[in-house]
């Protein structure tokens, strides 16, 4: 893949605009998971070490464009980064579209890009304003690489130089390793609420994995092929498609489930077989027989791709399935890749970060890359490379 890499460039005294993925869960001003921030940190530290002037750009949540809402502010992220980068000056800026002045080794965190009108629509005027802030645009947010927006794609059309950051390069390389020549058996664990949002990736993984394990609302849709599953979350319109996949590929569907009558943390769990679930009950986790079966499969695997919890892991009585999968993957000798926002939260919850081979910061991008789709942010980096593929490229690479 021909793109310019940040590590190839002489960035001394240059102004870098780094598009990071700092979209982390924040509750009452407190960051709940720092995984994405910590993943972005090495690129920032590298830029500081190379004497660059650093501008950090990111989104957070889904605010309404043009309207400031405190709960979507990146200020808590700034406060955390300021502590982590205590050896340098770190600023926060809410009004930045008309220019920013920095000295070498200084860092500024910009307010949520989704407060800017035009961000989601990839507006050219906004994209140009972003590009005017810097000498070099560094795309380092794999988690946002599938979005065609001003801070991920549009800026790359106007930036003098658009390159890939180290985190983005690592994400691509590790995902390629797991998909192109995986050690076998290869097992994919796909959880989440809706099969419709992950149907394409399910099809892809069914073709390349030896076994696909489904959980959450996705598994419920497969269970609904032959069973009445009470008030469980599932998608009736996808039952026929789910049946076609089940009949053609090796998909592991729950043989028993933990159910409850009320969706709340204090609800007690009861283990039931699919055909025994009452109208007033809903599936919220795997049962013990299913957990044992899946553990046996995972222990024999050589490559594992994991995206999404398999139950309501936030509730103490319905987290056993997700916990068992997480700890089995962590204790496995298999090459493992985990990705997705909820997956990152699970990894934090069970403190297994150092036991996963590679943790992807991406959710939607993670899945679209697996599907084989072209990610807009990467496509624009390829276009930028073409502009410099002749003698110009020699002038910008150190």
**What CATH number has the domain bearing residue 271?**
3.40.50.1260
Q: Inform me whether the pLDDT recorded for 294 exceeds 50.
A: yes
Q: Lay out the sheet containing 211-214: strands in order across.
A: 251-252, 211-214, 186-190, 303-307, 335-339, 358-360
Can you say how many angstroms the Cα of residue 385 is from the centroid of all Cα atoms in its chain? Answer: 25
% of the chain residues with pLDDT over 90: 76
In a domain, 344, yes or no: no
Confidence (pLDDT) at 328: 97
Confidence (pLDDT) at 391: 45
Q: Do 139 and 227 lie in a common domain?
A: no
19 is in an annotated binding site: no
| 36 is a catalytic site residue | yes
- pLDDT tens for residues 189-242? 999 877 677 778 888 899 989 999 999 999 999 999 999 999 999 999 999 999
Task: Tell me the average pLDDT across 157-184.
Answer: 89
In a domain, 47, yes or no: yes
287 is in an annotated binding site: no
Q: Do 157 and 218 lie in a common domain?
A: no
pTM, to two decimals = 0.81
98 is in an annotated binding site: no
Which is the catalytic residue, given 82, 157, 177, 194? 194
Q: Do 155 and 205 lie in a common domain?
A: no
Q: Do 266 and 128 lie in a common domain?
A: no
* Of 356, 297, 302, 304, nearest in space to 327 by CA: 356
Q: Do 306 and 388 lie in a common domain?
A: no
Task: Tell me the average pLDDT across 124-146.
Answer: 95
Q: Do 36 and 133 lie in a common domain?
A: yes
b/e code 152-169 from CB counts within 10 Å (16+ = b): bbbbbbbbebbbbbbbbb
In a domain, 39, yes or no: yes
Bond prior to 272 in cis (omega within 30° of 0) = no
Which is the catalytic residue, given 36, 53, 129, 320? 36
210 is in an annotated binding site: no
Q: Do 204 and 136 lie in a common domain?
A: no
Structural domain containing residue 155: 6-171+374-397
Between the CA of residue 142 and those of 20, 270, 329, what are the distances in Å? 8, 40, 23
Count the residues in the chain: 398
In a domain, 359, yes or no: no
Q: Do 247 and 382 lie in a common domain?
A: no
- pLDDT tens for residues 23-52? 999 988 999 888 899 999 999 999 999 999
147 is in an annotated binding site: yes
Which one of 305, 333, 361 terminates a domain? 333
Regarding predicted confidence, which is higher, 371 or 230? 230
Which one of 316, 333, 350 terminates a domain? 333
Q: Do 208 and 315 lie in a common domain?
A: yes
Residue 173, judged by CB atoms within 10 A of its CB (0-12, 13-18, 19+), counts as exposed
Which is the catalytic residue, given 118, 192, 341, 363? 341
Between the CA of residue 378 and those of 118, 148, 152, 307, what are the distances in Å? 21, 10, 9, 22
| 311 is a catalytic site residue | no
State the total domains in the chain.
2
Which one of 333, 351, 385 terminates a domain? 333
Banded model confidence at residue 181, pLDDT cuts 50, 70, 90: confident
343 is in an annotated binding site: yes
Q: Do 162 and 260 lie in a common domain?
A: no
The token duo for 330 is 């962590």
In a domain, 356, yes or no: no
| 287 is a catalytic site residue | no
Q: Is the Cβ–Cβ distance between 384 and 219 less than 8 Å?
A: no
Query: Can you name the residues that pair with 18 across neighbouring β-strands?
Result: 56, 138
Banded model confidence at residue 393, pLDDT cuts 50, 70, 90: low
In a domain, 357, yes or no: no
Phi, psi for residue 153 in degrees, rounded to 5: -120, -50
Q: Do 141 and 100 lie in a common domain?
A: yes
% of the chain residues with pLDDT over 70: 96
In a domain, 307, yes or no: yes
Angle subtended by helix axes 199-208 and 239-248, to nearest 10: 0
Q: Do 10 and 157 lie in a common domain?
A: yes
In a domain, 24, yes or no: yes
């Amino acid at each position: 893949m021909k793109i310019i890499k940040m590590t190839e460039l002489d960035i001394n005294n240059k102004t870098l605009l780094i598009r990071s993925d700092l979209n982390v869960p924040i509750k009452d001003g407190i960051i709940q998971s720092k995984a994405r921030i910590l993943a972005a940190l090495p690129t920032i530290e590298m830029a500081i070490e190379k004497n660059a002037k650093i501008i950090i750009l990111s989104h957070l949540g889904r605010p309404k464009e043009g309207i400031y809402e405190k709960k979507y502010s990146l200020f808590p992220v700034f406060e955390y980064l300021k502590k982590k980068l205590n050896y340098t000056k770190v600023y926060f800026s809410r009004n930045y579209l008309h220019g920013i002045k920095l000295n070498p080794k200084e860092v500024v965190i910009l307010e949520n890009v989704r407060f800017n009108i035009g961000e989601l629509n990839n507006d050219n005027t906004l994209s140009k304003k972003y590009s005017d802030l810097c000498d070099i645009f560094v795309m380092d947010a794999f988690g946002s690489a599938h979005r065609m927006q001003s801070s991920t794609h549009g800026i790359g059309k106007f930036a003098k130089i658009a390159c890939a950051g180290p985190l983005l390069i690592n994400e691509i390389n590790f995902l390629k390793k797991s998909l192109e020549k995986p050690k076998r058996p290869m097992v994919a664990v796909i959880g989440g609420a809706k099969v419709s949002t992950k149907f394409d990736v399910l099809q892809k993984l069914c073709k390349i994995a030896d076994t696909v394990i489904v959980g959450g609302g996705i598994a419920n849709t497969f269970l609904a092929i032959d069973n009445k599953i009470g008030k469980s979350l599932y998608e009736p319109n996808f039952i026929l498609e789910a049946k076609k996949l089940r009949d053609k590929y090796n998909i592991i569907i729950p043989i028993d489930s933990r159910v409850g009558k009320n969706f709340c943390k204090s609800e007690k769990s009861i283990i039931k077989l699919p055909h025994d679930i009452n109208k007033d009950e809903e599936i919220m986790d795997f049962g013990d027989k299913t957990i044992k079966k899946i553990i046996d499969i995972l222990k024999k695997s050589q490559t594992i791709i994991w995206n999404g919890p398999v139950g309501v892991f936030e509730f103490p009585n319905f987290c056993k399935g997700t916990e068992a999968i997480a700890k089995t993957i962590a204790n496995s000798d298999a090459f493992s890749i985990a990705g997705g926002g909820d997956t990152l939260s699970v990894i934090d919850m069970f403190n297994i970060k150092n036991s996963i081979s590679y943790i992807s910061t991406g959710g939607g991008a993670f899945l679209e890359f697996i599907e084989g789709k072209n990610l807009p942010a990467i496509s624009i980096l390829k276009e930028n490379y073409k502009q410099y593929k002749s003698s110009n490229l020699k002038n910008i690479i150190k």
